[in-house]
Amino acid sequence: MKIRILVLFSFVLITSFMGIGPYAQTVEKEWQTRMAFQTSYKIIDDLTIEISPELRFDNEFKLDKYLLEGALEYEFLKHFSAGAGYRFLANKKKSGDTEYLHRYKFFASYQTKIKRWKPGFKLSYADYSDDEEEDSEYLRPKLSLAYNIRKSKITPKVGVEYFYQIPTSEWYKVRYNVSLDYKLMKKNYLNLGYKFDYYLNDYLNKNIIEISYKLKF
């Protein structure tokens, strides 16, 4: 059963990447850099709170947005958890004004461990998923896979996430991501990641570089 999970994950990930071929070379490409500090704390054995401030920079590395996000996650069964989160975002517009946005999300996830592999699945519901989109509802299924390298402080991760826009009943975009967690010391991690947003209905691709510091209590 566990082998089948790994095979299924690999098949979905590979076939998804195949879908970005020639089309990705003809669309407009944007770049974004994100810097974040993530901290999580176990309130009780099965309940965790997470808080993450983040800065986002545009193509010219000018501050574009800043946000604060918090979430509560409860593990109700072994490998299964559910939670809710809130995001406050300040968007600096070209006109010089700043607009303030809010996002609420609910999610459920499953994660297991197969030797050194850690596959997972997460399903999220959010009132909006893109900074540019307001008053929208999305379903976001996500597959992820991490590998614990023997005698190494580095943990590589890959994932693919789909964005389904509920009001229009259509798939909006696919997000591919790859990242590395580096353990600096006990409960302290440095993360470097790359995300590729492939928009299904727009001639646009977004490349996102992420740098974050993680602290777990």
Strand partners, 62: none
pLDDT confidence of residue 24? 43
Q: Which CATH architecture has domain 2-216?
A: Beta Barrel (2.40)
- DSSP string of 96-109, one letter each residue: S-EEEEEEEEEEEE
Give the other-Cβ count within 10 Å of 77's Cβ: 9
- Contact between residue 106 and residue 125 where contact means Cβ atoms under 8 Å apart: yes
**68-112: pLDDT as tens digits:** 999 999 999 999 999 999 999 998 877 778 888 889 999 999 999
- Domain locations in the chain as residue ranges: 2-216
Per the prediction, the chain carries an average pLDDT of 87
pTM equals 0.85
**Between 4 and 63, residue with greater pLDDT:** 63
